[in-house]
């Protein structure tokens, strides 16, 4: 009875979320359908009334409470929406940077409440204002633009540090990405003749001085994550610059590749070593630059081996590298430097092996090295621990799977997941299950929703399936895997429920409603798991799939909105009936 | 007092929005109407409704680089054009040359360079698209002219689309009227 109770509670919660999401999406569709049918006054009034109402709610609940915070964030969005609606009605040809500039200015008083959501909106509007102003009005030289952007980023970091520390992390990650993108775009600029010292200094400031200054600020304020991320940014930008410098001036010889690999590895290791002085008690953050250095070095060493060796010699040398790498790892794992070297060597060995297995020798024409790297990361996943490391690996895995969807690689990836699904007790350590479970669901989700993101509506999917045998095979494997997992999860249910679920799945397959089947199957395991990361992944996918599904329905927005609201109300009713059943069982 | 700060901040934003609305409404009431002929239009469907890409006939050669005098350049992408109007206020000619005094049948019109266009010599006043409710594409396809309200400095506001005889299309209004008539029949 307890198991049944917990099932109903969890299902009721999930159904509530879905019902709310459906009704909200439906209302948005209805508004979108009717927006231009509203008189001008109503179009102008809607965001303004919402703005005023959220301000009153914010004052009533106080901004320091969760409800007040939500109301304030909503008001901040409504300020922008009020101006957007004004701009849409009165088409005067005003530049879009003016909208963001006014929005930023009007957000300044709200910063007083030190709410991270409002500060984050403020960062976005300020950066967008500057970017759009450059395109539409300022027309600064590329060097000045990059330099001023670096200065603005520094100012935002300083403001965040002084007034709203809880908004720092997304800002720092954005600063890091912007800095890296600027570094890459400078390198990619093929018009080398026009590069001069003047252009160089703008780029140099944003790519190197900004991370260095931000890092020093975080050191004095004792913020480990910010300090480590800035060191990592510095390491990435330095590596990009160093590779570019050498590839431009030198040939792509084996000696130069080994030299570059050594310098990058050693440079990143020194950065990590310095970081360990600043962060003596936070090893996982201080290791960031050296992990990056080892990864880049391993790629360069692998490329060098690809050039150096004959195709037939790959397995032997990969075995040698693996033995050296893992030998060092197991016997000298207490020394940080040795551990990183062994990591780089073992990565190279594995990359060489997978390059041999998956590619017929064309090193540059394919992503074989990257694929191999991902497989390596999966193996290293099993022998390392740490939330950050796993998350990064998951993201890389998903990216590469998107790139190489049609390859044999995908089927091999499923083997450990299917094994795990069939024999969950094989892996006794609970920590192993979590990343595997996340990986399994991500892979299945990708396989199922992939055609929908590339413009295949439900009616066209059948044609797509008949045209691409490999896709239907991957679908089959995906469904087999997910059904196996689902059966394992639903076995605690009563037999009649299980049969009902399977029959419904069969019907959905027959009618080719694959996303709906995916949703059903996803809902079953997530109602059992307590893993918040997995829940976030699945809810995100659920939203995307719903959006894609409704987007491709060929019907007017008005009908679409009504159907979605109807579905939401139906789900809400089921949720209500479930809760009634629960109450009845308890009484 | 501190408690009421969100309301004060909200009122400041509302004040600024509504001052801007008032300025545009006074331009609609007092501004001069000019009509620009539309080149073939392009109805498209988006998730938020429909919109029409507008291509104006400004009598400027899109295939050549214009020699724009300095006093006609307002900012990076904004220029001041002198347009010649017929007796129905339709634009019949345009030039970037700025005369010392405008003739009776001339008006200033601020235009923007379409930075996205391939030729980079396409100019448009106020907006190069017009949004409307879903399902009105066939009605708005009849548009032949765009009506702008302009002030003395030539700042335009895209007011509405009109047919060949310069009568506003008002497709949404016509639909509302039709619904009212239908209601009248049933009740």
pLDDT the model gives residue A387: 41
Mean pLDDT along residues A27-37: 74
Q: Poorest-confidence range of A393-397, B63-67, B143-147?
A: A393-397
Whether the predicted pLDDT of A433 surpasses 70? no
Average pLDDT value for chain A: 71
Beta bridge partners of B146: B36, B161
More confident: A532 or A166: A166
Helix (H) or strand (E) holding B85: strand B78-85
pLDDT the model gives residue B174: 78
Interface mutation target, options A43, A52, A60, A90, chain B, most CBs of B under 10 Å: A90
Residue B41 is given by DSSP the state: P
pLDDT the model gives residue B114: 77
First to last CA, chain A: 13
Q: What residues of B are in contact with residue A558 (Cβ under 8 Å)?
A: 134
Range ranked top by mean pLDDT from A76-85, A297-306, B51-60: A76-85
Q: Poorest-confidence range of A348-357, A480-489, B1-10?
A: A480-489
For helices A387-403 and A409-422, the axis angle rounded to 10 degrees is 130
pLDDT in tens, B73-103: 888 788 899 999 998 999 999 888 888 888 8
pLDDT the model gives residue A114: 92
pLDDT in tens, A278-295: 877 776 678 788 878 887
More confident: A108 or B39: A108
Contact A371/A358 with Cβ under 8 angstroms?
yes
How far is Cα A299 from Cα A5, in angstroms, rounded to an integer? Answer: 52
Mean pLDDT along residues A61-82: 90
Q: Where are the alpha helices (DSSP H) in A287-386?
A: 288-308, 314-331, 336-358, 368-383
pLDDT in tens, B19-29: 999 999 998 88
Reference A171, options A245, A95, A132, A225; nearest CA is A225
Instruction: Using pLDDT thresholds of 50, 70 and 90, give the confidence band for residue A50.
Output: very high
More confident: A546 or A194: A546
Whether the predicted pLDDT of A422 surpasses 60? no
> How many contacts (CB atoms, under 8 Å) link A and B?
118
Q: How many angstroms away from the CA of A148 is the closest CA of chain B? A: 19
Q: Poorest-confidence range of A22-31, A237-246, A494-503?
A: A494-503
Nearest to B6 among A75, A90, A136 (CB): A75
Contact A119/A167 with Cβ under 8 angstroms?
yes
Interface mutation target, options B7, B8, B13, chain A, most CBs of A under 10 Å: B13
Whether the predicted pLDDT of A456 surpasses 50? no
Whether the predicted pLDDT of A468 surpasses 50? no
User: Is A52–B76 a contact, with Cβ atoms under 8 angstroms apart?
Assistant: no
Nearest to B3 among A35, A59, A110 (CB): A59
pLDDT the model gives residue A540: 55
Mean pLDDT along residues A361-368: 45
User: Is A139–B156 a contact, with Cβ atoms under 8 angstroms apart?
Assistant: no
Nearest to B20 among A55, A86, A109 (CB): A86
Whether the predicted pLDDT of B178 surpasses 90? no
Whether the predicted pLDDT of A430 surpasses 70? no
The two tokens of residue B13 are 């934003």
Whether the predicted pLDDT of A445 surpasses 60? no
ipTM: 0.84
pLDDT in tens, A380-413: 544 444 444 444 444 444 444 444 444 434 434 4
Q: What residues of B are in contact with residue A44 (Cβ under 8 Å)?
A: 17, 21
To the question of pTM greater than 0.90 for the whole model, the response is no
pLDDT the model gives residue A58: 93
How far is Cα A191 from Cα A140, in angstroms, rounded to an integer? Answer: 18
Q: Poorest-confidence range of A39-53, A66-80, A243-257?
A: A243-257
pLDDT the model gives residue B173: 78
Q: Which residues contact B58 (CB under 8 A, 6 or more apart)?
A: B36, B81, B83, B91, B94, B111, B123, B124, B125
How far is Cα A33 from Cα A556, in angstroms, rounded to an integer? Answer: 8
Q: Poorest-confidence range of A272-281, A538-547, B67-76?
A: A538-547
Q: Poorest-confidence range of A181-195, A318-332, A466-480, B94-108?
A: A466-480
Reference A483, options A471, A501, A507; nearest CA is A501
How far is Cα A485 from Cα A12, in angstroms, rounded to an integer? Answer: 22
Q: What residues of B are in contact with residue A113 (Cβ under 8 Å)?
A: 5-6
Contact B36/B125 with Cβ under 8 angstroms?
yes
Reference A17, options A551, A527, A502, A552; nearest CA is A527
pLDDT the model gives residue B11: 93
Range ranked top by mean pLDDT from A387-401, A412-426, A539-553, B6-20: B6-20
Q: Poorest-confidence range of A50-64, A103-117, A443-457, A496-510?
A: A443-457
pLDDT in tens, A109-166: 999 999 988 999 999 999 999 999 988 888 788 888 888 999 999 999 999 999 998 8
The two tokens of residue A277 are 């002085």
The chain B residue lying nearest A47, using CA atoms, is: B14
Whether the predicted pLDDT of A54 surpasses 90? yes
Q: Poorest-confidence range of A56-60, A455-459, A562-566, B169-173?
A: A455-459
User: Chain A residues with CB-CB distance to B under 8 A?
Assistant: 32-37, 44, 48, 51-52, 54-56, 58-59, 62-63, 71-72, 75, 79, 82-83, 86, 88, 90-93, 95, 102, 106, 109-110, 112-113, 135-139, 551, 556-558
CA angle A391, A397, A402 (to 5 degrees): 130
pLDDT the model gives residue A292: 82
Helix, strand and coil content of chain B, in percent to the nearest 5, comes to 30, 35, 40
Residue B164 is given by DSSP the state: T
pLDDT the model gives residue A429: 46
User: Is B5–A137 a contact, with Cβ atoms under 8 angstroms apart?
Assistant: no
pLDDT the model gives residue A410: 42
Buried-state track A450-489, b at ≥16 Cβ within 10 A, e below 16: bbbeeebebeebeeebeeeeebeebbebbbebbbebbebb
């Amino acid at each position: 009875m307890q198991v049944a109770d917990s099932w109903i509670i969890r299902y009721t919660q999930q159904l509530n979320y879905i019902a709310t999401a459906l009704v909200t999406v439906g209302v948005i569709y209805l508004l979108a359908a009717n927006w231009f049918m509203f008189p001008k006054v109503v179009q102008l009034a809607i965001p303004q009334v919402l703005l005023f109402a959220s301000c009153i709610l914010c004052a009533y609940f106080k901004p320091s409470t969760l409800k007040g915070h939500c109301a304030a964030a909503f008001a901040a969005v409504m300020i922008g929406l009020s101006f957007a609606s004004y701009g849409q009605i009165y088409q005067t040809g005003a530049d879009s940077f003016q909208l963001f500039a006014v929005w930023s200015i009007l957000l300044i008083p709200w910063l007083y409440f030190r709410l991270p959501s409002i500060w984050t909106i403020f960062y976005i509007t300020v950066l967008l204002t500057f970017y759009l102003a450059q395109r539409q009005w300022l027309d600064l030289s590329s060097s000045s633009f990059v330099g001023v952007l670096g200065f603005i980023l520094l100012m935002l970091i300083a403001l965040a540090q002084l007034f709203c520390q809880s908004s720092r992390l997304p800002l720092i990650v954005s600063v890091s990405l912007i800095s890296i993108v600027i570094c890459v775009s400078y390198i990619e600029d093929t018009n080398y003749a026009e590069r001069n010292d003047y252009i160089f200094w703008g780029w140099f400031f944003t790519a190197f001085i900004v991370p260095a200054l931000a890092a020093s600020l975080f050191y004095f304020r004792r913020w480990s994550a910010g300090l480590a991320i800035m060191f990592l940014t510095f390491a990435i930008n330095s590596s990009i610059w160093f590779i570019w410098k050498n590839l431009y001036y030198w040939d792509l010889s084996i000696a130069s590749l080994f030299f570059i690999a050594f310098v990058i590895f050693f440079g990143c290791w020194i950065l990590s070593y310095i970081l360990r002085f600043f962060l003596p008690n936070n090893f996982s953050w201080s290791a960031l630059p050296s992990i990056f250095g080892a990864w880049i070095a391993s790629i360069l060493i692998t490329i060098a081996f690809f050039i150096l060796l004959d195709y037939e010699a790959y397995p032997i040398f990969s075995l040698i590298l693996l033995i050296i790498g893992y030998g060092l790892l197991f016997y000298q794992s207490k020394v940080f430097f040795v551990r990183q070297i062994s990591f780089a060597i073992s990565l190279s060995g594995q990359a060489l092996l997978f390059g041999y297995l998956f590619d017929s020798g064309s090193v540059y024409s394919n992503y074989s090295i990257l694929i191999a790297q991902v497989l390596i990361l999966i193996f290293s996943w099993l022998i390392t621990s740490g939330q950050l490391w796993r998350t990064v690996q998951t993201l890389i895995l998903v990216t590469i799977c998107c790139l190489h969807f049609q390859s044999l690689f995908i089927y091999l990836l499923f083997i450990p997941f299917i094994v795990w699904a069939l024999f969950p007790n094989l892996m006794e350590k609970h920590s192993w299950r979590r990343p595997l479970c996340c990986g399994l669901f991500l892979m299945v989700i990708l396989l199922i929703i992939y055609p929908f993101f590339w413009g295949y509506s439900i009616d066209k999917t059948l044609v797509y399936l008949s045209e691409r045998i490999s896709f239907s095979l991957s679908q089959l494997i995906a469904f087999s895997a997910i059904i196996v997992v689902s059966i394992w999860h639903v076995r605690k249910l009563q037999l009649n429920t299980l049969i009902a679920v399977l029959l419904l799945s069969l019907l959905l397959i027959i009618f080719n409603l694959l996303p709906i089947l995916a949703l059903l199957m996803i809902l079953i395991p997530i109602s059992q798991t307590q893993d918040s990361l997995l829940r976030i992944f699945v809810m995100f996918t659920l939203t995307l799939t719903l959006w894609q599904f409704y987007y491709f329905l060929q019907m007017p927005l008005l009908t679409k909105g009504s159907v979605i609201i109807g579905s939401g109300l139906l789900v809400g009713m089921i949720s209500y009936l479930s809760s009634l059943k629960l109450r009845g069982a308890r009484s | 007092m501190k408690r009421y700060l969100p309301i004060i901040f909200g009122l400041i934003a509302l004040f600024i929005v509504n001052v801007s609305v008032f300025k545009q409404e006074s331009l609609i009431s007092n501004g001069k109407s000019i009509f620009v002929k539309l080149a073939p239009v392009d109805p498209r469907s988006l998730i938020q409704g429909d919109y029409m890409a507008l291509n104006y006939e400004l009598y400027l050669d899109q295939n050549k680089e214009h020699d724009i005098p300095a006093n006609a350049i307002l900012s990076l992408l904004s220029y001041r054009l002198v347009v010649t109007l017929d007796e129905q206020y339709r634009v019949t000619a345009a030039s970037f040359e700025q005369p010392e005094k405008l003739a009776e049948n001339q008006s200033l019109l601020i235009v923007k360079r379409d930075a996205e266009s391939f030729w980079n010599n396409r100019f448009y006043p106020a907006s190069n698209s017009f949004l409307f409710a879903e399902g009105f594409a066939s009605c708005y396809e009849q548009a032949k002219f765009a009506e702008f309200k302009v002030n003395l400095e030539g700042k335009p506001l895209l007011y509405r689309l009109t047919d060949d005889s310069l009568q506003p299309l008002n497709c949404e209004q016509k639909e509302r009227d039709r619904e009212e008539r239908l209601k009248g029949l049933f009740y």
